[in-house]
Structure formats: structure tokens, C-alpha cells
Amino acid sequence: MTTTLELRLGEVEARFRTMADSAPVLLWMADTDALCTFFNQTWLDFTGRTLEQEWGVGWAEGVHFEDFQRCVDTYMAAFAERRPFEMEYRLRRADGAFRWVLDRGAPRYAPDGRFAGYIGSCVDITDRKDLELDLVRAVRVRDEFLSIASHELRTPLTALRLQLDGLARSIERQPQRDLANGRLAASTGDALSQVERLTTLIERLLDISRFSEGRVTLMPEDVDLVGLVRGVVSAMREPARVAGSTLTLTAPAALAGRWDRMRIEQVVTNLVTNAVKFGGRKPIELDVAAEAGGARVSVRDHGIGIDEQDQRRIFARFERGVSARHFGGLGLGLWVAKQIVDAHAGTISVASKPGVGSIFTMTLPLSSHEDGAGGAP
Amino acid sequence: MSAATACAGVLVVEDDADITEALVQVLESEGMAVRAAGNGQIALDLLRAPGSPLPCVILLDLMMPVMDGWTFRSTQLRDPTIAHIPVVILTAGGPAAVTDRVRADAMLRKPVDLETLLATLARYVT
């Protein structure tokens, strides 16, 4: 009888051992004293060592010396509290190469509930780690390129702008204002507005590299948000008229707070520019209002609108709701806007229906947290 | 006081030939005396040359070969014969990168519009 049971137990154990040995992960087990007593064949094949060599704390010889102490600390701390743990470290492979592994361990218990030690598994995550590094490197190279490109592009623009400004001044100074002069002045004005446009595009390029490096430092000052929005509205009135839209502003007399004036102006300008661009020649309404502890600015248009799927991604980099062929621009405006509002500890969101229009809403706390002026006014 | 009254025009310190040419043209057509230096070292040599009148203001680029704007400015401030000359920075770099590290009387960003440039320089050129 006993022999039959022992035989059957032996069979079961053999079956589990086969399973463990053919599992595509590195498996280990430790006893209650934290010493390892089992490694599956996958582990032994990986390290190219024998069970005797890995036994106890032998396995730790394969851990990269830079990761060793951290590993031991993590393992022993988890062990003492009998909680699951997770750690990444470099483990020497049979060919001598160190590979990054993700090791997950959990306490195991005997059928009667007694603590029996630990069991764990490791997977090789080197390829994933390499990919992550490549990605980080690629982003850095891209941002560096943008930064250099925008700097380089600014140089000829500076010369161009000065020459055109000089030309405009000379035309102005001509004693007789005849037809030819008028045409020359108009052309110079047109050329200058193209320079402005290029400058804005380059500014945005620089903005993404700046924001993605987290280099944006706010310069908060006392700002009347109503005055600021009023300024944007009056600057945008003419472009809106040309696009066939009117701008109306509903606002209290003033709404004071501490923000980075230029940056917030940039956000509002961006929202109004978008509304003009996608507003379908219909009226655009701006609303400024005080909220509990903050301020809210909303820009509503009655244009083409944005479908639900696009609403989620328009605040991402290089994203746009519509195809590039129809509307110019880099698709950076809203991403930059979001970075600015985030830096102010505010929020920016959109509600929209295709064919009905969009409403973009920005909320700002009355003083930005970078100011260190928390608490009551 | 004598230094202030004896000054003459603008010294443009800029490594880009096209920008320098444009600056010289527009400023001269406004009736200003303009001299130009291709980098900070040339500017220092010009300023320290005996006999020539000092400029009323220096229009300074920051990123230049040989001697950049930051080095020029700190060297200038340590030289008592030229330390008093006001400096207007004209740079393509972002404001944060610039203001942190250089002391200047005014800061203009490239591309600058002529109106702003002239109004800024007018504060120093008499």
C-alpha cells in the first residue's frame, strides 16, 4: 500500500518536474531559511551552471555586482515580511553576457497553511529594455534636432525681417505716395506677414523641444485674465472677420490671478485660432468666469466639430483632428497648450459634436503652484 | 559723465554676416553710426583699441564662435574702461536659457521687429 502511494507520489512529482523543466521561464524555489533548493532546467540552461552550483546562495554569484546588494536587500526584506516582490537585475548567461531579468517571487504555503518558503520566476527583458533605451535616445535626438533647426531657421528670418522692416520704412518715408509706392508697401506688408507666420511655426517647434525636456519655467505675475482675453480677442478680430466669423466675449469686469501672462496668452490665442480655423464661418463665443478658487475660460465655435475618438488624442503631440491637407499647421498647438496649462496646475478639455461645434475649456487656479504662494490670498 | 557724452553709435557683435549686414543697413539709414564685430574677441579688441570713441550701446549676440556673448559680457564687466557701456542682447535662444546666465540692460529675441529694436537702442544712443 505504502509503496503504491509512494510510487504514485513519485509519478506526480516527476510530472511536475517535467513541467517545471520545460516551462519557458526561469523558475526557482527557496525554503523557509531563504536558501534556494530548486532551479528548473530552463534556469540551469540559461546560467550554464549545475544545480549544486546554484544551490543555497550560489545563484547570486551570477548577479551583476552593481545589482547584487539591491537584489539581496529586496529579497530579504520581502522574505522577512512574507510578501510578494518584484525586482529587475542583470544575470550572467551561459555565454557570459549579462541579461536583464524581471524576477517575481511569492511566498508559498504547505497544505496545512504553514509557510514553506518562496517560489519565483524570471523572464529575460533585455530586448524590451534595449527598445526602451532606443526610444528614449530617438526622442532625445529628435528634440535636439528640433532645437537646432529652430535656432538655425531663426537666423535667416532675422535678416529677412530686418530687411523688410527697413524697406517698409523707406517706402513710408517717400515724399510722394503714388500708386506704385502703395503697391510696394502692400507687398512688403504681405511679405512681413509671411515672416510672422514662419516665426510662429518655428516658435512652436522650439516649444515642443523645450516642453518635452521639461524646461518650461513659468514666470507668474499679476494678471487680469479678462484684460488678457480681451487683448487676444481684439488681435484676432481681423483674422476672424477674414475667415467669416465674429468674436464675442462674455466676462466680468476683471478677474485677477497670478499666471505666466505670455504663456496663457499663447493658450487663449491658440484656442481662438483653432476656433477661427475650424469654425465654419459661424460666430465664436468666448466666456471668462470665476470659479471656486479659480478661473475658467471657454471658447465655443459652431464649426465642423471633433468626433469622440479624435477628442481623446488632439492634446497629444503632432496630432490633429483633420487631415493636414485641409488645414495648415503643425498639429502642436493643443499639445503645447496642455503643457502650459498643466504647468499652471490647471486643466484643459474639450466637448464637441461633429457638425455642431466644439467648446474648449481651460481652468486655472488663481495662483500657479510654482509660485509657492499657496493658501488664502 | 564725459564717457557718456563722448560715445558714438552702436557696436553690433554678431557672427552671422547676413544679420550683420541687415543691421548695419537699417541702423545706418536711421542715422546711427554702426560698427560691427564678428565675435566677442573682435569686439573686445575694437573696444580696447586706443583713440576710437566708445559706442553708446552694444548689440550682442550670444552664440558665437571664438568668444561667445556670455564670455564677452563677463569680460567687459571686469574691464573698468568699458564696463559702463550698456548691452542689449539679441538672441535666438529661449528667454530662460538666457536671462539666467547673463546680465544685460535689455533682451531682444530673434527675429526682432525693427520698431522694437530702434525703440530699445534709442534709450542709449543720443
**Positive/negative CA dihedral, B116, B119, B121, B124:** negative
**Interface probe, candidates A155, A167, A172, chain B, greatest B C-beta count within 10 A:** A155
Cα-based distances in Å from A53 to A61, A67, A104: 9, 20, 22
Confidence band, pLDDT 50/70/90 cuts, at residue A209: low
- The phi-psi region of residue A56 (left if phi > 0; otherwise alpha if psi is between -120 and 50; otherwise beta) is left
pLDDT digits (tens, 9 = 90+) for A71-96: 999 999 999 999 999 999 999 999 99
- Best CA proximity match to A271, nearest among A196, A322, A368, A336: A336
pLDDT at residue number A82: 93
- The type of residue at A305 is G
Place of cell 556670455: B70
Cβ within 8 Å, pair A159-B29: no
User: How far is the alpha carbon of A339 from chain B, nearest alpha carbon, in Å?
Assistant: 16
Residue A25, judged by CB atoms within 10 A of its CB (0-12, 13-18, 19+), counts as: middle
Distance CA B108, CA B120 (A): 9
For B29, which of A159, A166, A210 is closest by C-beta distance?
Answer: A166
> Is pLDDT at A18 greater than 60 in this prediction?
yes
pLDDT digits (tens, 9 = 90+) for B28-42: 988 899 999 999 999
Cβ within 8 Å, pair B18-A210: no
Cβ within 8 Å, pair B22-A159: yes
Chain B residues near residue A195 by CB distance under 8 angstroms: 111
| Residue in chain A nearest B27 by alpha carbon | A166
Confidence band, pLDDT 50/70/90 cuts, at residue A48: very high
Confidence band, pLDDT 50/70/90 cuts, at residue A1: low
For A159, which of B18, B97, B117 is closest by C-beta distance?
Answer: B18
Cβ within 8 Å, pair A163-B110: no
What's the rounded mean pLDDT across residues A230-252? Answer: 87
CB of A371 within 8 A of CB of A220?
yes
Cβ within 8 Å, pair A166-B16: no
> Is pLDDT at A183 greater than 90 in this prediction?
no
pLDDT digits (tens, 9 = 90+) for B46-105: 998 888 889 999 999 988 889 888 889 989 999 999 989 999 988 876 544 444 566 778
**Interface probe, candidates B19, B27, B29, B107, chain A, greatest A C-beta count within 10 A:** B19
pLDDT at residue number A160: 92
| Least confidently predicted of A24-28, A41-45, A230-234, A362-366 | A230-234
B69-78 and B40-48 helices, crossing angle to 10°: 30
> Is pLDDT at A315 greater than 90 in this prediction?
no
What's the rounded mean pLDDT across residues A258-278? Answer: 88
pLDDT at residue number A151: 77
pLDDT digits (tens, 9 = 90+) for A100-146: 999 999 999 988 999 999 999 999 999 988 888 888 788 777 777 87
Neighbours of A124 (CB within 10 A): 16
Place of cell 512652436: A204
Cβ within 8 Å, pair A151-B92: yes
User: How far is the alpha carbon of A330 from chain B, nearest alpha carbon, in Å?
Assistant: 20
- Best CA proximity match to A268, nearest among A252, A282, A250, A287: A287
Between A105 and A261, the higher pLDDT residue? A105
User: How far is the alpha carbon of B124 from chain A, nearest alpha carbon, in Å?
Assistant: 20
Peptide bond into A365 cis (omega under 30): no
pLDDT at residue number B126: 74
User: How far is the alpha carbon of A220 from chain B, nearest alpha carbon, in Å?
Assistant: 13
CB of A125 within 8 A of CB of A181?
no
* Size of chain A in residues: 377
Confidence band, pLDDT 50/70/90 cuts, at residue A202: confident
Q: Please, what is the average pLDDT of chain A?
A: 84
CB of A60 within 8 A of CB of A73?
no
Tell me the β-bridge partners of A334.
none
Between A68 and A184, the higher pLDDT residue? A68
% of residues, chain A, pLDDT over 70: 89
Which DSSP category does A322 fall into? Answer: S
Angle at B77 between CA B76 and CA B83, to 5 degrees: 80
Between B92 and A271, the higher pLDDT residue? A271
pLDDT at residue number A25: 92
pLDDT at residue number A177: 65
Helix H, strand E, coil C: the string for chain B is: CHHHHCCCCEEEECCCHHHHHHHHHHHHHCCCCEEEECCHHHHHHHHHCCCCCCCCEEEECCCCCCCCHHHHHHHHHHCCCCCCCCEEEEECCCHHHHHCCCCCCEEEECCCCHHHHHHHHHCCCC
- The H or E element containing residue A47 is helix A41-47
Confidence band, pLDDT 50/70/90 cuts, at residue A277: confident
Confidence band, pLDDT 50/70/90 cuts, at residue A361: very high
Q: Please, what is the average pLDDT of chain B?
A: 84
According to the per-residue pLDDT averaged within each range, which of A146-155, A156-165, A319-328 is highest?
Answer: A156-165
With a CB cutoff of 8 Å and minimum separation 6, the contacts of B106 are B86, B88, B89, B120, B123
Confidence band, pLDDT 50/70/90 cuts, at residue A305: confident
According to DSSP, the β-strands at A294-300 and A284-291 are antiparallel
For B113, which of A159, A161, A163 is closest by C-beta distance?
Answer: A161
Q: Which grid coordinates are listed for A85? A: 516582490
Distance CA A344, CA B86 (A): 35
Cβ within 8 Å, pair A169-B23: no
Distance CA B115, CA A270 (A): 25
Distance CA A165, CA A225 (A): 32
- The H or E element containing residue A288 is strand A284-291
pLDDT at residue number B3: 45
Cβ within 8 Å, pair B19-A162: yes
CB of A326 within 8 A of CB of A345?
no
Angle at B5 between CA B4 and CA B9, to 5 degrees: 85
pLDDT at residue number A203: 75
User: How far is the alpha carbon of B104 from chain A, nearest alpha carbon, in Å?
Assistant: 18
User: How far is the alpha carbon of B81 from chain A, nearest alpha carbon, in Å?
Assistant: 32
- The H or E element containing residue A92 is strand A85-92
With a CB cutoff of 8 Å and minimum separation 6, the contacts of A289 are A251, A252, A255, A295, A296
**Interface probe, candidates B10, B16, B26, B64, chain A, greatest A C-beta count within 10 A:** B26
Chain B residues near residue A210 by CB distance under 8 angstroms: 94
Cβ within 8 Å, pair B19-A170: no
pTM: predicted TM-score of the whole model, two decimal places:
0.54
